[in-house]
Structure 1
Amino acid sequence: MNAKSENWFGHDVKPGEAISTELVISESYSSRDVAIPIRVRRGLNPGPTVFVTAALHGDELNGTGAIRSMLGDPSWELASGTLLMVPVLNVLGFERHSRYLPDRRDLNRCFPGNTTGSMASRLAKVMFDSIVRRCDFGIDLHTAAVRRTNFPNARADLDNPTCLKLAEAFGSGIILHGKGPKGSFRREATAAGCPTIVVEGGEVWKVESSVADCMLRGVFNILKTLKMMDGPPDIPEHQAIIKQTKWIRAERGGFMSMHVAPGDSVVKGQALASNSNLLTEDQNRLEAPFSGIVIGMTTLPAVQPGEPVVHIGRLANPKSALRHDQHVASDDVQRTALQHLATNVQVTEPEELPSS
């Protein structure tokens, strides 16, 4: 039986139709509407309702690039269900090139929100009620924070079987376990009955083609797994499950020489970065405390003691650990991302340290 017409944001959307609309979330100082643009696309047949959002942090734009690629590509079709595509969720942060809202609050700590709280809480309430509570599944696209980069990875509450299914179907190659912080979009959406995953990849303030391609393929993979698109999903042969991560922090101030790149596999004791003064003297070295995968790292070579340098994830199954010369990238899309992200930092071979 064919799907019926649905009302989205004041518009009746028939099966097979797509509309561009807006969701009014607040008012400006001049009392004008503040709205987020949304594309609603429906398949001909009944099916799940899925949202894909980006720029919940207003400076994280790789997901925006991925969604815009979907919007501009006429070659794909939605066979069933309803898809909500939101290129920029945090429009107020986006317009200021900022992670945060104008009041410095992090929107991603304010869900599900309330109608009488702060501006951030009120925005969160409108978004949550209008989008999340009407959807069956969610995909939220992010990047690393400022001065950092991430190899594309999916993050989900793996104790939730549906979240695990979505994370595996996305096919990023790296899956991190976690519910997410209290008040975060994915945690509260999942708790409200809309299983949601987060995907992290790349840096802020830019659209990196290889990262956006990974995100685009992942969204299509999930839609195919949910039978909303025709065809088999394109999922890598191997994916790493990570349940423990650790930031390796600088021990001294100085200039870092990096010896690994995002996506690299490392073994316990392997050199990650070397630290020296500006005359390359007083060198010390940061080493991997366990075998695992480089999830992310700083892109700022100058550090002070305690600043994060390399983010490592420990594989959930130690027997599946890769050699130090292997990578998590097992297909062309992942390998392209690995090569691209490796150019964001200068990676050198470690020098021999003088014996004590």
Structure 2
Amino acid sequence: MIYQKKDLNILGEVIKPGQSAELSFNVAHLHTRTPVDVPVIIERSKKPGPTILFTAGIHGDEVNGIEIVRQLISKEINKPKIGSIICIPVLNIFGFINMEREFPDGRDLNRVFPGIKNGSLASRVAHTLVNEIIPEVDFVIDFHTGGAFRFNAPQIRIAPGNEDDDIMAEIFGAPFLLYSNNLNKSFRKTCNELGKPILLFEGGKSFHIDKNVTNTAVNGAKRILNHFGMLRKKFNVSEPKKECIKIIDSKWQRASYSGMFKAKANLGQEVKIGDTIGNITDPYGKFNHFVKAKHNGFIFNINESPIVYQGDALFHISTETTK
């Protein structure tokens, strides 16, 4: 693809080639009338090239994703050799302030896209992103973590059936690639409907920063930028440590009993049916249930909560994979 030099028109501002800008969009105030802005950090090369968007913090408690984008900025990886890079480290600034997943209106930002101009608070943020920023973007990487106590192995998620997405996911080089259908009203589905390629990265858990996860994601982002010719020579591009496991289908293994839970299997471990992968006990030393794998496959999500109830998801195990 041939890219022409052009101005970026974002949030009512014009950013020319070679310029840097820190913009913000504000859709509401706190109940104290204090304004809350969502920072949008833009770096442009004088040379034409694609415009890449890095986003995180769609869920306010997913701190690990925010840390990934923070590192891209602090290490100046976001200053491109060609083209433009836009970083939005915290989309749900309201949730981040309160350390909550949702917006103050109780809505999940990732379930209200493409948003409504005069809708709910979350819907207004979605509408601003989709209408003021996404039209200027050529490629998106959105960083997430596992919810609650569930720790995700570093992984890329894409919808099945798109060869271009497959290629970009392999270039990113996460240990796992999970094929999953786009959820209704999600950011990923909206980007796909608008013809904007997007990779969704999952890794770690809420309220937690994990060095391995952040390193995996930052290295993956550098590979993508290098692929587009945007990464400056000062940065090294490493090869992925492991061959990517592509997960075509998977199942959650759930708790048969309530109690105190401890996982014995490791994240990313390949298990066989009947392997002991954890145990559930009571507080009194009278009950000890060994959790045995019900499927052959790789464990790519583990519930790290010390207390579980019957029916809670414990392990996410692949049931069909390819390399």
Structure 2 length-normalised TM: 0.91
**2:79–2:85 contact (8 Å) kept in structure 1:** no
Residue 257 of structure 2 corresponds to residue 252 of structure 1: yes
Indicate which of 295, 301, 305 corresponds to 1:300: 305
How many pairs align? 318
Separation (CA, whole Å) in 2 of partners of 1:25 and 1:209? 33
C-alpha distance after superposition, 1:141-198 (max 9, x if no partner): 0111112211111111131222222221211110000133111111111121111121
Q: How does 1:50-65 map to 2 (within 5 A)?
A: 50-65=52-67
Aligned match of 1:102: 104
Q: How does 1:25-174 map to 2 (within 5 A)?
A: 25-29=27-31, 33-74=35-76, 77-174=79-176
Aligned match of 1:335: none
Aligned match of 1:263: 268
Aligned to 1:281, what secondary structure does the other structure show? Answer: coil
Q: How does 1:165-314 map to 2 (within 5 A)?
A: 165-230=167-232, 233-236=237-240, 238-314=243-319
Identical amino acids, percent of aligned pairs: 29
Separation (CA, whole Å) in 1 of partners of 2:121 and 2:78? 38
**1:58–1:92 contact (8 Å) kept in structure 2:** yes
C-alpha distance after superposition, 1:52-78 (max 9, x if no partner): 001100010112111111211247741
C-alpha distance after superposition, 1:331-350 (max 9, x if no partner): xxxxxxxxxxxxxxxxxxxx
**2:10–2:133 contact (8 Å) kept in structure 1:** no
Separation (CA, whole Å) in 1 of partners of 2:131 and 2:160? 25
Letter in 1 for 2:160: L
C-alpha distance after superposition, 1:37-63 (max 9, x if no partner): 011011232221111001100010112
Aligned to 2:122, what secondary structure does the other structure show? Answer: helix
**1:53–1:85 contact (8 Å) kept in structure 2:** yes
Letter in 2 for 1:97: M
Structure 1's 32 and 284: CA in aligned 2 closer, same or farther, altered over 3 A?
closer
Structure 1's 257 and 207: CA in aligned 2 closer, same or farther, altered over 3 A?
closer
Aligned to 1:117, what secondary structure does the other structure show? Answer: coil
C-alpha distance after superposition, 1:117-157 (max 9, x if no partner): 32222221111112223211111101111122111111111
Separation (CA, whole Å) in 2 of partners of 1:160 and 1:20? 34
C-alpha distance after superposition, 1:186-241 (max 9, x if no partner): 11111211111211111212322222111111111111112222568534251000
Cα distance, 1:31 vs. partner?
A: 5.7
Aligned to 1:46, what secondary structure does the other structure show? Answer: coil
Structure 1 length-normalised TM: 0.83
Separation (CA, whole Å) in 2 of partners of 1:5 and 1:123? 24
Unaligned runs of 5+ in 1: 321-356
Aligned to 2:140, what secondary structure does the other structure show? Answer: strand
Unaligned runs of 5+ in 2: none
Separation (CA, whole Å) in 1 of partners of 2:293 and 2:87? 40
C-alpha distance after superposition, 1:245-304 (max 9, x if no partner): 211111011222321121222122211112222233333222222221111111112221
| CA-atom RMSD in angstroms | 2.2
**2:56–2:66 contact (8 Å) kept in structure 1:** yes
Cα distance, 1:85 vs. partner?
A: 0.4
Q: How does 1:334-353 map to 2 (within 5 A)?
A: none
C-alpha distance after superposition, 1:320-341 (max 9, x if no partner): 6xxxxxxxxxxxxxxxxxxxxx
Separation (CA, whole Å) in 2 of partners of 1:120 and 1:74? 30
Aligned match of 1:7: 9
Aligned to 2:49, what secondary structure does the other structure show? Answer: strand
- Between 280-289 and 192-201, the greater mean CA deviation after superposition: 280-289
Letter in 1 for 2:23: T
Separation (CA, whole Å) in 2 of partners of 1:25 and 1:174? 37
Separation (CA, whole Å) in 2 of partners of 1:113 and 1:162? 27
**1:293–1:315 contact (8 Å) kept in structure 2:** no
Aligned match of 1:338: none
Separation (CA, whole Å) in 1 of partners of 2:218 and 2:262? 33
Separation (CA, whole Å) in 1 of partners of 2:36 and 2:281? 49
Structure 1's 151 and 244: CA in aligned 2 closer, same or farther, altered over 3 A?
same
**1:25–1:127 contact (8 Å) kept in structure 2:** no
Separation (CA, whole Å) in 2 of partners of 1:121 and 1:168? 33
Aligned match of 1:331: none
